[in-house]
Amino acid sequence: MRMWIVFFLCLAGHAMAAPTEEVPVTEEPVYEDIDDAVPVIDEPVVEEPEVGVNPVQVDVGEFDEAIEIIEEEVFDNPCLTHHCKKGKVCEVDEDNTPLCVCQDPTACTAAEGEFEHVCGTDNKTYDTSCHFFATKCALEGTKKGHKLHLDYIGPCKHIDTCLDSELNEFPLRMRDWLKNVLVTLYERDEDNNLLTEKQKLRVKKIYENEKRLQAGEHSLDLLAHDFEKNYNMYIFPVHWQFGQLDQHPVDGYLTHTELSPLRAPLIPMEHCTTRFFEECDADSDKYIALEEWAACFGVKEQDVDKDLVI
């Protein structure tokens, strides 16, 4: 269970402010006696810039022209504000118009270790996710490229077949895990950047509930019993996870690509992951609607609420 929570905290991580450098400011020498003219040097005064502020502060004056040149260079490079999806990089044409073109796989940085390898649905191990998405981009428009997806994190390996009995066990662990992840985020959200205020209000009710089953290794019978007795405690975590995945675009449906951030790291640990999400798509239209997602986790139809996807 700890491994699951640590894994999700990495996914839920937010970009922090870039580190700033300290700029030493040295005062002019001070003379105690004019006749002796012996300089007494004070210790350098170090001013720490505010977070998010450029540590190199330039006074208005002789550097005005340099500032204008830098701004002009930024303005003249449209790629700095042009976003390309994974596998593509920005280039400008002769009219200085930004274009997204497929990245050359050989330009990707080599993996530092096996942990950076990824396995594609073609059962081929790629050195890094950069190599995978660059390869997929090159196959864009082809049948092979359409079927190629990132399957899971790590080198390709044998994944055991998921039995019916094992498939029924999967949502028991998944529901408990989602609840514990939210509680952990709530406990660690000191800077108010892990959960929104609305989310924190809902998680607070779960966190303060004395009947909440604490995180740990629990038997399947206990997990099933807790879901039955404390059903309402699991409704919001299921909705919350759907909202975290439904991002590109936010349309109330999950695609294979949107599921990838969750399923790719899970597959090596939970061999029923792929079959579970395939069967969540009850109408086999390649999309998982909120109602289908909730049903997979045992949430009753009358309790499905789009307002909870916040």
My answer on whether 107 and 172 are in the same domain is: no
More confident site: 296 or 74: 296
Residue 80 domain flag: no
285 CB-near residues (< 8 Å, 6+ apart):
none
My answer on whether 246 and 178 are in the same domain is yes
Q: What is the 3-state secondary structure (H, E, C) of 268-299?
A: CCCCCHHHHHHHHCCCCCCCEEHHHHHHHCCC
171-202 per-position pLDDT tens digit: 999 999 999 999 999 999 888 789 999 999 99
Which letter does DSSP use for residue 245 in this model? H
pLDDT at 292: 98
Same domain, 146 and 213: no
Q: What is d(CA 307, CA 310) in angstroms, rounded to the nearest whole number?
A: 7
Say what the pLDDT of residue 63 is: 30
Q: Encoding tokens for residue 26?
A: 């040295």
Asked if 147 and 165 sit in the same domain, the reply is no
102-118 pLDDT, tens digit per residue, is 999 999 999 999 889 99
Residue 121: inside a domain, yes or no? Answer: yes
Q: What domain count does the chain have?
A: 2
Same domain as 140, residue 257: no
pLDDT in tens, 206-218: 999 999 999 999 9
pLDDT at 152 over 50: yes
CA distance 174 to 273: 10
Which amino acid makes up residue 77?
N
pLDDT in tens, 255-301: 988 999 999 999 999 999 999 999 999 999 999 999 999 999 999 99
Domain ranges, residue 139? 88-153
Confidence of residue 8 (pLDDT cuts 50, 70, 90): low
What is this structure's pTM? 0.68
